[in-house]
């Protein structure tokens, strides 16, 4: 019934949440106001394997101190469906990854979920706690937006508001002297994230339409119809995709020049397109190694080309490599 998928969205939300509280510092001054100590507050996701914690934090068993303070810990405290952000369950959309625009995938609309977090802060002194709290609270009014790349394969970046719900202050300073003072603040947040279902593993549309033909058919009531004309349109690349260099220009080409000289024009045919640097040119004709060209094709900028610049031709092979999202032209024919 179900196919396997795992986007690590909850884990990414945990990381994104933790990032908000990274790099918080505590600075201490002497009586003259000079800074005497700077501490960066350690932060960790609280739940962990017991044996791992023991191995990492007490490798030699004999800790000289009880623990180090200050410390901050955060953990998920709940996951709830958020019906207020509900969208049509059957709606799908197409998207591509950030790195590869041709890699288009189909995905269903995400399901809105609220992930509750608890951030606990433990400090040795109230002064430390107040410094930490004051560096956190101004950012939450009462929420702070994070843009998280939830699924890299479809480039799905979502704004996830992190909402500060409550602050619980615990300062157990009363009682007998056998119990230490415990100074722990607990901040409760809600991250309004989205959970995605399966994303198609196949490229949804890996190519552009390569050919469109329209036939014009005529006939009479007493005569079977015949196809009189077929009009065909095919995409034509406006730039070189293969990267194949056919030659180099042998002289500088000024902006106003319409004749260019190349080292060898044997691989360039007339009535074809070539690119030099970022400019696409149309070769009207060639005589020996001299090409008569029309500059600035397909709205490419007409610019100076110094001698030695690489010349690449646009061929039918490039037409096949046009990527979705690219600009391209058309060639048409009648049959």
Residues paired with 281 in a beta bridge: 274
Nearest in space to 119 (alpha carbons), one of 167, 63, 51 = 167
Residues 133-162, mask of contacts with other proteins (x by CB under 8 A): --------x-xxxxxxxx------x-x-x-
Member of 2, 4, 6, 65 binding other proteins (CB under 8 A)? 65
Tell me which residues in 99-138 interact with other proteins (CB under 8 A): 120, 122, 124-128, 130
Q: Interface with other proteins includes 23 (CB under 8 A)?
A: yes
Q: Interface with other proteins includes 188 (CB under 8 A)?
A: no
Q: Residue 134 to residues 25, 127, 141, 144, 185: CA-CA distances in angstroms?
A: 11, 11, 13, 15, 12
Tell me which residues in 220-279 interact with other proteins (CB under 8 A): 248, 250, 252, 277-278
Pair 51, 44: CB distance under 8 Å: no
Rounded to whole angstroms, the Cα distance separating 76 from 190 reads 10
Member of 1, 3, 4, 37 binding other proteins (CB under 8 A)? 37
Rounded to whole angstroms, the Cα distance separating 121 from 263 reads 72
Segment near other proteins (CB under 8 A); pick from 9-17, 199-207, 218-226, 315-323: 9-17
Nearer to other proteins, 70 or 235 (CB): 70
Member of 166, 269, 307, 333 binding other proteins (CB under 8 A)? 307
Member of 5, 58, 85, 294 binding other proteins (CB under 8 A)? 58
The least distance separating other proteins from the CB of residue 244, rounded to whole angstroms, comes to 19
Residue labelled with tokens 């032209």 = 329
Q: Interface with other proteins includes 187 (CB under 8 A)?
A: no
Q: Interface with other proteins includes 40 (CB under 8 A)?
A: yes
The least distance separating other proteins from the CB of residue 274, rounded to whole angstroms, comes to 16
- Conformation bin of residue 308: beta by default, left when phi > 0, alpha when psi is -120 to 50: left
**How far is the first Cα of the chain from the last one, in angstroms, to the nearest whole number?**
50
DSSP state, 195?
E
């Amino acid at each position: 019934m179900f196919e396997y998928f795992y986007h690590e969205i909850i884990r990414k939300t945990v990381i994104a949440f933790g990032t908000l509280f990274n790099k918080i510092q505590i600075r201490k001054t002497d009586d003259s106001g000079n800074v005497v100590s700077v501490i960066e507050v350690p932060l960790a996701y609280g739940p962990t394997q017991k044996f791992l914690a023991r191995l990492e934090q007490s490798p030699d068993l004999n800790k000289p101190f009880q623990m180090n303070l200050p410390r901050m810990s955060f953990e998920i405290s709940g996951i709830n469906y958020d019906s207020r952000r509900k969208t049509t369950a059957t709606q799908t959309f197409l998207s591509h990854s950030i790195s590869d625009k041709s890699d288009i995938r189909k995905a269903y609309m995400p399901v809105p979920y609220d992930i509750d977090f608890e951030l606990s802060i433990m400090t040795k002194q109230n002064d430390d706690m107040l410094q930490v709290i004051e560096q956190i609270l101004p950012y939450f009014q009462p929420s702070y937006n994070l843009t998280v790349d939830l699924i890299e394969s479809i480039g799905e970046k979502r704004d996830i508001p992190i909402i500060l719900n409550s602050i619980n202050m615990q300062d157990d300073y009363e009682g007998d002297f056998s119990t230490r003072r415990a100074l722990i603040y607990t901040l409760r947040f809600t991250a309004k994230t989205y959970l995605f279902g399966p994303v198609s593993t196949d490229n949804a549309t890996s190519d552009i339409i390569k050919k469109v033909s329209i036939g014009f058919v005529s006939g009479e009531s007493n005569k079977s119809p015949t196809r009189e004309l077929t009009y065909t349109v095919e995409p034509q690349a406006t730039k070189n995709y293969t990267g194949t260099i056919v030659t180099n220009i042998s002289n500088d080409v000024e902006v106003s020049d319409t004749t260019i000289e190349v080292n060898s024009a044997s691989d360039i045919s007339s009535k074809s397109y070539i690119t030099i640097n970022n400019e696409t040119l149309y070769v009207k004709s060639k005589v020996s190694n001299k090409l008569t060209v029309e500059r600035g094709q397909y709205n490419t900028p007409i610019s100076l080309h110094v001698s030695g610049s690489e010349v690449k031709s646009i061929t039918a092979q490039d037409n096949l490599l046009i990527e979705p999202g690219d600009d391209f032209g058309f060639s048409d024919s009648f049959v």
